[in-house]
Structure 1
Amino acid sequence: MDNTILVEVDAVSKSFTGAAGDELRVLDGIKLDLRSGEIVALLGRSGSGKSTLLRTIAGLIGPTSGTVRYRGKELNGANPGTAMVFQSFALMPWLSVQDNVELGLAARGVPTAERRERALKAIDLIGLDGFESAYPRELSGGMRQRVGFARALVLEPDLLLMDEPFSALDVLTAENLRTELMSLWTAEGFPTKGICIVTHNIEEAVLLADRVFVLGANPGRLRAEVKINLARPRDRRSPAFAKLVDHLYDLLTGREPELGLPEPAEATPTARPLPAASVGGLAGLVEIVHTNGGRVDLPDIAAELSFEIDDLLPLVDAAAMLDLLFVAGADLNLTPMGEAFTTADIQQSKKIFAEQARHRAPLVRTICTALGSAGGYLRAGFFLDLLRRGFSAADAQQQLDTAVDWGRYGELFDYDNDSGQLTLEHS
């Protein structure tokens, strides 16, 4: 198998300037390579910078520091060896299917006759023959995404970049397109040498990829590289498939020991930020796990509630931080403390929450300690100034808002919105 390095990402960091002039770091020191003959998945939750990294590889945005090289040459603009498939289809509604597919070729100055021939070939390859003259409004979501695939493949790029290409589709359509993509990939004559796909769907990553890069969030850092040594087509029911899924869940939820994350009881507010979870949300998740006998499968419960797993992860993180749940692979398990919390009456439940938050939620602990040292009163701006040293202005505010929500519920401290003052509660 040709193992040529197509793209090298070398120590790439990317920052944007926020509305208040603050620096928002999205990527931090990313180093990876993409090779011919393989599919690579960039896996991470919201805030991990997956799409930013993909656009950096495409040359659509430049890194703040570090370099991206295509076949050994540093990029200084759009990557000539890539083509992109977007989550939102991004079709021109006033153009027919064929005209949409020809767009990239027209931009490259390909003659009309050759353009038509190549477009019809790509349309046929992707299973849309007969719809050449149709307009996007006449097509289903799955068919529109097929047009997106054809528009990218007609350019015969070295590297096909896909940004969550199946997430806007219904489950059955998405599964059908994944299967067809794998059939095309393994067949002779597929017009691209490599694929890089952004996803937050763990099973999708294991199903499609040869290598998975797991990104941590805020800012996006490379946590792990996982090789998927499974023959195609892959069987979701096999023990080897399930083992890889569980391993990636552990990495994505931060439970793997090699991540070196400090324990909540010992961490600083910047080393272990508070998850963006309300007390009601995390309490509801703990209750669901309790109702189901103390253990649930995270993908199953997400499907049952019609949520993306990505939406539930902050609640999982919050409950785990407070030692109400623990995560093992894709399973959520109730802890003895979680059992006590969810079965107690309201007042006792609040006391349990307060004790756990005071000791295991770093920012809540810091606020309680600072208020105790300052006579029980401090302005919120004091904490925001400290938080802005490790977070953007928006993230710092979110951290404080979450801490206030948790502190108020546990009757640890109160916040006066008019004066902007935090006050220590005295029991």
Structure 2
Amino acid sequence: MAQNTASVRDTAIVEVDDVTTAFPSSDGGTLTVLDEVSLTLREGEIVALLGKSGSGKSTLLRTVAGLIAPTSGEVRYRGRPINGANPGVGMVFQSFALMPWLTVQGNVELGLAARSVSAAERRQRALDAIDLIGLDGFESAYPRELSGGMRQRVGIARALVLRPDALLMDEPFSALDVLTAENLRNEVMSLWAQPDFPTKSVCIVTHNIEEAVLMADRVFVLGSNPGHVRAEVGVPLPRPRDRRHPLFAQTVDRLYALLTGTGTGAPGTAAAPVAATPLSAPLPDVSVGGLAGLVEIVHSHNGQTDLPDLADELSFEVDDLLPLVDAAALLGFIEVDGAQLFLTEDGRAWGRADIQESKKLFARLSAAHAPLVRTILKALENSDDGALRDDFFLDLLRRGFSGADARVQLDIAIQWGRYAELFDYDADSGELVLGEVAAAFGV
């Protein structure tokens, strides 16, 4: 791009300075989503916000847009603090967020109408944006007549028609099929390369490591619960990016290590097992069967495999496998070194055990290493009759999770605990009951 010069790159468009964002929780306390986050979005660059669920990526993007006010800290646009909607940004949403009763042109004009732009200018600018994004001929179509990829093009055109300094994109390709997402991603990068592209910077939220490396000049890796900046990684690759370039694989591996907490300066859950709590080390959202499948596959690779190679072999993205990898590492079935997975002795034993032996081994490891499972066991043991209602645990979890996420965490723990026969759950009464197997682990 013409604006990609060193002097232009020194020009800050958006500055996020020590931002903390918290919301009221159901127990009357607060739920901190972002914790002291700082970053700068400069002219002539694409920045990616990469993180797992719970890292506050979307909240951070909406804070930059001025849609959410920070609890503390400051967001500045061109050096001026924002106290409402950021006038210098346009936003593209994962869910398209189109008005079904408006045509393509009507949807694209919507933001201009809100800014009181005249009808004639709205029409011309909308038609130009529609043409730019490759939707000419569909101006009078309604969203229901469009494919997912075409609807997202409308969303992009609606943002670009505002001629924003910064284009904010919240997982814009994740709701699309793989081929459509790849095509639209490539087209966005082609537009970015044009000297007359009507925006000076892009910030994209993603959980897809390869997408971040394909698009971004800098990647901010966010940690979770609450969201915080774990690392900033530059991507030293020319455009267009080639997945076969050695630096591409190296950057993917580095980001993977940081995302999973195995990279330098990013301690993972296993590094501090004593301090791990249900809030600081949430359970990965995976089933026992899925976890067993991963262990079996690694076992079939002689107990060692490269994660990007495994993802390619299974026709998945690397980040699709991350929850399974996190769960296996949390329980001690595998060890992670960068992007390499190694089965532990417990992992090998679980892979070759019969059903009853696998249950016993899973019970021992989940009681020892899964914080929420361990907390439930301790609480049940200390109750008068070995039983407690699920509301007790949900109230505790809501101190660090939203109501929906608290329920998900408890459901995962219940599934793991029932498989291991550590405790049972009555869905009708909402009661968790201590199992006989639990006594063997001295909780």
Given the two structures, how large is their TM-score scaled by the length of structure 2?
0.86
Q: Which residue pairs with 1:40 in the alignment?
A: 47
Structure 1 residue matching 2:248: 3-state secondary structure: helix
Q: Distance in 2 between matches of 1:369 and 1:193?
A: 55
- Checking the alignment, whether the CA contact within 8 Å between 1:265 and 1:361 is kept in structure 2 is no
Find 2:192's aligned residue among 185, 189, 206: 185
Find 1:285's aligned residue among 285, 291, 294: 294
- Checking the alignment, whether the CA contact within 8 Å between 2:133 and 2:153 is kept in structure 1 is yes
Is 1:243 equivalent to 2:253 in the alignment? no
1:81-230 matches, within 5 Å, as 81-230=88-237
Moved more, 164-173 or 129-138: 129-138
Identify if the C-alpha distance between structure 1 residues 115 and 280 changes in structure 2 by more than 3 Å, giving closer, same or farther.
same
1:57-68 matches, within 5 Å, as 57-68=64-75
Is 1:337 equivalent to 2:346 in the alignment? yes
Shift of 1:140: 2.4
Deviations 1:396-419 (A, max 9, x none): 555455444434433445567756
- Checking the alignment, whether the CA contact within 8 Å between 1:371 and 1:423 is kept in structure 2 is no
Deviations 1:158-213 (A, max 9, x none): 00111111112222222122222112212211111110011111111000000101
1:12-27 matches, within 5 Å, as 12-27=19-34
Q: Which residue pairs with 2:419 in the alignment?
A: 409
Q: Which residue pairs with 1:6 in the alignment?
A: 13
Q: Which residue pairs with 1:320 in the alignment?
A: 329
Q: Distance in 2 between matches of 1:421 and 1:277?
A: 22
Identify if the C-alpha distance between structure 1 residues 350 and 76 changes in structure 2 by more than 3 Å, giving closer, same or farther.
same
Shift of 1:306: 7.3
Q: Which residue pairs with 1:352 in the alignment?
A: 361
Identify if the C-alpha distance between structure 1 residues 360 and 118 changes in structure 2 by more than 3 Å, giving closer, same or farther.
same
Shift of 1:239: 0.6
Segments of structure 1 that go 5 or more residues without pairing to the other structure are none
Identify if the C-alpha distance between structure 1 residues 27 and 239 changes in structure 2 by more than 3 Å, giving closer, same or farther.
same
Is 1:267 equivalent to 2:275 in the alignment? yes
Q: Distance in 1 between matches of 2:380 and 2:15?
A: 49
Q: What code does the residue aligned with 2:419 have?
A: Y
Moved more, 300-309 or 180-189: 300-309
Moved more, 369-378 or 103-112: 369-378
Shift of 1:223: 0.8
Structure 2 residue matching 1:78: 3-state secondary structure: coil
Given the two structures, how large is their TM-score scaled by the length of structure 1?
0.89
Shift of 1:104: 1.5
Deviations 1:262-318 (A, max 9, x none): 535433324433333333332232123323443455456567767665554332211
Shift of 1:86: 1.4
- Checking the alignment, whether the CA contact within 8 Å between 1:142 and 1:173 is kept in structure 2 is yes
Identify if the C-alpha distance between structure 1 residues 105 and 392 changes in structure 2 by more than 3 Å, giving closer, same or farther.
closer
Q: What code does the residue aligned with 1:409 have?
A: Y
Q: What code does the residue aligned with 2:19 have?
A: V
Moved more, 183-192 or 194-203: 183-192
- Checking the alignment, whether the CA contact within 8 Å between 2:307 and 2:340 is kept in structure 1 is yes
Q: What code does the residue aligned with 1:282 have?
A: L
Moved more, 409-418 or 135-144: 409-418
Find 1:72's aligned residue among 79, 92, 95: 79
Counting matched residue pairs gives 427
- Checking the alignment, whether the CA contact within 8 Å between 2:260 and 2:268 is kept in structure 1 is no
Structure 2 residue matching 1:212: 3-state secondary structure: strand
- Checking the alignment, whether the CA contact within 8 Å between 2:51 and 2:207 is kept in structure 1 is yes
Q: Distance in 2 between matches of 1:389 and 1:217?
A: 14
- Checking the alignment, whether the CA contact within 8 Å between 1:268 and 1:363 is kept in structure 2 is no
Structure 2 residue matching 1:273: 3-state secondary structure: coil
- Checking the alignment, whether the CA contact within 8 Å between 2:111 and 2:158 is kept in structure 1 is yes
Q: Distance in 1 between matches of 2:231 and 2:132?
A: 35
- Checking the alignment, whether the CA contact within 8 Å between 2:261 and 2:267 is kept in structure 1 is no
Moved more, 7-16 or 200-209: 7-16
Moved more, 285-294 or 49-58: 285-294
Shift of 1:149: 1.6
Alignment RMSD: 2.9
Segments of structure 2 that go 5 or more residues without pairing to the other structure are none
Moved more, 256-265 or 223-232: 256-265
